[in-house]
């Protein structure tokens, strides 16, 4: 036996070095695979919500709702969701790359494959309505979600620019006046006699609406157009 071999054996005995069990490597590799899959799933959820927010955002199809291009970018593009989704995909790539044999795969191919899986699964989540449900859950339970991740309410909280949204508290159909509680909790008197209704919105208590018009004073808003919180189309206001 060579001197080097004897020296290694003596050090092992002296330091009481024991071989690492195979199950340790299997557990580590399995954990990396699980984390990789979990992040791909999170990326899929992110992609599905991105589709939902883009499909249900008036600002995307109507640039006129923005005062300038920068404001359009802020309200139309879910930038934080895009960044978060890219982060999940990168983490999935990192964990996969560190699995046993992961180094053999081309980095670009891994990223493309992860992205493709997220797009396909995310599309399924969107078409099944899961993306909308998840977005609602996040909006109700995640602090500041509607001020950062889903800014559609903020877009309709600009009465000075002629955009106001919220829920109807009361309706006086004879005088064509309703009381609206906006997304910030403030109450407004809304004059809507000559307003146009879009989609299937109905002027009734509890209805969620968004309006284009003009701010008359700190508590009064003149509505020229009333829309449902979601949906498209147009019909003329008909008083009963």
Give the domain CATH number at 196: 2.40.50.320
Residue 211 in any domain: the answer is: yes
Residue 122 in any domain: the answer is: yes
In this prediction the pTM is 0.71
Closest-CA residue to 93 (of 79, 76, 106)? 106
Instruction: Dig out the tokens for 214 from the structure.
Output: 């003009």
Distance between CA atoms of 133 and 121, rounded to whole angstroms? Answer: 16
Q: Are 163 and 214 in contact (CB under 8 A)?
A: no
201 CB contacts (<8 Å, ≥6 apart)?
A: 207, 209, 226, 227, 228, 231
Q: For the residues 106-131, what does the mean pLDDT come to?
A: 89
Closest-CA residue to 182 (of 166, 168, 169)? 166
H/E run at residue 69: helix 69-76
pLDDT at position 108 over 60: yes
Q: For the residues 169-195, what does the mean pLDDT come to?
A: 94
pLDDT at position 8 over 90: no
Q: Would you place residue 231 in the very low, low, confident or very high pLDDT band (cuts 50, 70, 90)?
A: low
Residue 15 in any domain: the answer is: no
Q: For the residues 112-118, what does the mean pLDDT come to?
A: 88
Residue 4 in any domain: the answer is: no
The CA–CA distances, whole Å, from 86 to 43, 56, 89, 146, 151 equal 7, 22, 5, 20, 20
pLDDT at position 236 over 60: no
pLDDT at position 21 over 80: no
Residues 104 and 142 in one domain: yes
Q: What are phi and psi of 66, to 5 degrees?
A: -100, 150
* Residues forming a β-bridge with 165: 210
Q: For the residues 177-193, what does the mean pLDDT come to?
A: 95
E-assigned strands of 68-158?
157-158
Distance between CA atoms of 231 and 218, rounded to whole angstroms? Answer: 29
Domain end: 148, 170, 196, which one? 148
For the chain, give the longest Cα–Cα distance: 105
pLDDT at position 99 over 90: no
Domain end: 148, 176, 211, which one? 148
Domain that holds residue 142: 22-148
Residues 166 and 58 in one domain: no
Strands 220-228 and 196-197: parallel
pLDDT of residue 10: 60
Q: Would you place residue 31 in the very low, low, confident or very high pLDDT band (cuts 50, 70, 90)?
A: confident
DSSP 119: H
The pLDDT tens digits of the residues spanning 52-69 come to 999 888 888 777 788 788
pLDDT of residue 111: 82
């Amino acid at each position: 036996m060579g001197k080097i071999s004897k020296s290694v054996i003596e050090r092992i005995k002296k330091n009481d070095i024991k071989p690492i069990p195979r199950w340790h490597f299997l557990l580590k590799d399995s954990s990396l695979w699980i984390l990789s899959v979990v992040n791909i799933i999170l990326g899929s959820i992110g992609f599905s919500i991105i589709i939902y927010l883009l499909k249900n955002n008036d600002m995307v199809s109507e640039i006129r709702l923005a005062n300038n291009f920068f404001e359009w970018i802020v309200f139309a593009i879910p930038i934080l969701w895009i960044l978060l989704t890219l982060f999940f995909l990168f983490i999935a790539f990192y964990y996969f790359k560190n699995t046993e044999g992961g180094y053999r795969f081309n980095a670009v191919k891994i990223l493309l494959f992860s992205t493709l899986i997220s797009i396909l699964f995310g599309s399924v989540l969107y078409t099944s309505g899961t993306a909308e449900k998840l977005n609602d859950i996040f909006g109700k339970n995640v602090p500041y979600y509607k001020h950062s991740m889903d800014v559609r309410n903020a877009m309709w909280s600009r009465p000075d620019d002629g955009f106001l949204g919220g829920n109807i508290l009361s309706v006086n159909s004879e005088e064509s006046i309703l009381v609206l509680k906006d997304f910030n909790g403030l109450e407004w008197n809304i004059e809507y006699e000559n307003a146009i209704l879009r989609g299937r919105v109905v002027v009734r208590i509890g209805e969620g609406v968004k309006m284009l018009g003009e701010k008359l004073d700190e508590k009064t808003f003149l509505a020229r157009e009333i829309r449902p919180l979601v949906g498209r189309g147009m019909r003329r206001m008909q008083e009963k």
